[in-house]
Amino acid sequence: MDFIAIGDTVVDEFINLKEAQVNCDSNNEACTITMRWGDKIPYESAEVVVAVGNAANAAVSAARLGLSTGFISNVGKDKFGEEIIAALAREGMDTGYIQVNDGIPTNHHYALSYEAERTILIRHEAYPYHLPAALPPPKWMYLSSVAEHTESFHDELAAWLTAHPETKLTFQPGTFQMKMGKERLAPLYAVTEVVAVNKEEAERILELGETDIRELLQKMRALGPNIALITDGPNGAYAYDGTTMLKVPRYPDPRSPINRTGAGDAMTSTFSVALTLGKSLEEALLWGPVNSMSVIQHVGAQKGLLSRDALLKFIADAPAEYRADPI
């Protein structure tokens, strides 16, 4: 198998708000959203999207880009669990590693959407995470969000990767993994090929304030991974492999974004797929923003994920300024 993603999968319920106010600081950052307290607030629409979550999004991305793909995850023995497995099977991936849990419900998140941004209310159920017995080593693994109290699973994965150096890992830390701290996850970082975060997450993991992107790339790579990938919203994305430090701008949006959910997952997974296919660091960095651009033109994290032919056409048609440059 080419690619196995590991992490929680969820049902996302998007609630598109009609009345809200966004308040930002003088730098147009540190934004909050406010609504009237104790009132009835109208909303535009609601949409339920199944089989999402960081790792699930990555698995779908890899499958659509043509890799043989599997997914290690957990669902509840309920309607949403059945729908998740069916949806992922329709993408052509191996769902045999998804554990169905009796007595634990399927993860269900709520996304409050307003204009092009969203705030997500999350709850990760306490599933029993373990690697499948006699797991055939894939070319690439992709680990992202899992629930709290899964420290032992991360140790298990680090030991497995040490025993199977032919498998490379992309680690996209989720909320609870960042909370564990870089010291607790040191054994996993040591066997990671790519660590992928946004700029704010890098500063949080490294316990730093506002920091120059070059320093962040160097310090994230110093945790152990061979490659550090950092995204910075409208400023683009950056990668460093110990020798080359590159920046790529955002791929131009064909129209105003509809919803930014899943943009980071699309970037990181597509970058990882390109590396799995033997592409260079520069090529992989050019691939990622194309899928991000497509995803944010739709509601949900997967609807806009591209086939490989469609992605390559966008790259072929890219403006001259869309290139990876040294920084």
pLDDT digits 0-9 by tens, 274-303: 999 999 999 999 999 999 999 989 877 788
- Band of pLDDT at residue 123, cut at 50, 70 and 90: confident
Task: Dihedral sign for Cα 98, 148, 229, 296, please.
Answer: positive
Would you say 165 and 197 are in contact if contact means Cβ atoms under 8 Å apart?
Answer: no
pLDDT, tens digit (0-9, with 9 covering 90-100), for 148-194: 889 999 999 999 999 999 999 999 999 999 999 999 999 999 999 99
Q: How many residues does the chain have?
A: 327
CA 232 to chain CA mean position, Å: 14
Contact assessment for residue 33 and residue 21, using Cβ atoms and an 8 Å cutoff: yes
> What's the pLDDT band for 124 if we cut at 50, 70, 90?
confident
Read off the DSSP letter of residue 54: H
How large is the angle between the packed helices 281-295 and 308-316, nearest 10 degrees?
100
Residue 116: which of 305, 250, 296 has the closest Cα? 296
* Residue 320 pLDDT > 80: yes
Is pLDDT above 80 for 116?
Answer: no
In DSSP notation, 249-294 reads: PPPPPSS--S--TTHHHHHHHHHHHHHHTT--HHHHHHHHHHHHHH
Residue 312 CA to residue 208 CA, distance in Å, equals 37
Distance CA 312, CA 314 (A): 5
Q: How far apart are CA 139 and CA 3, in angstroms?
A: 6
**Helix, strand or coil, per DSSP, at residue 229:** strand
Residue 170 pairs in a beta bridge with 142, 194
Q: From residue 86, how far is each of 34, 54, 80, 82, 193 by CA, in Å?
A: 37, 18, 10, 6, 31
- Angstrom CA distances, 284 to 22, 61, 72, 248, 276, stand at 35, 14, 24, 10, 10
**94-98, 103-107, 251-255: least confident range:** 251-255
Partners of 142 in the β-ladder:
5, 170
What's the pLDDT tens digit per position in 53-90?
999 999 999 999 999 999 999 999 999 999 999 999 99
Share of the chain above pLDDT 90, in %: 81
pLDDT digits (tens, 9 = 90+) for 34-55: 988 999 989 999 989 899 999 9
Distance in angstroms (rounded) separating the CA atoms of residues 307 and 112: 29
Structural domains in the chain, sorted by start: 3-7+52-105+129-326 (3.40.1190.20)
Q: What's the pTM?
A: 0.89
For residue 85, the model assigns a pLDDT of 98
What CA–CA distance (Å, rounded) separates 143 from 177? 10
H-state helical runs in the chain: 54-64, 79-90, 151-163, 175-180, 186-189, 199-205, 213-222, 263-276, 281-295, 308-316
In this prediction, residue 26 carries a pLDDT of 82
Q: Is 137 helix (H, G, I), strand (E, B) or coil?
A: coil
Residue with tokens 């490659």: 227
Predicted local confidence at residue 159, as pLDDT: 98
Helix (H, G, I), strand (E, B) or coil at 94: strand
Q: What is the mean pLDDT of residues 243-270?
A: 89
Which of 21-25, 191-195, 214-218 has the least mean pLDDT? 21-25
CB of 52 closer than 8 Å to CB of 282: no
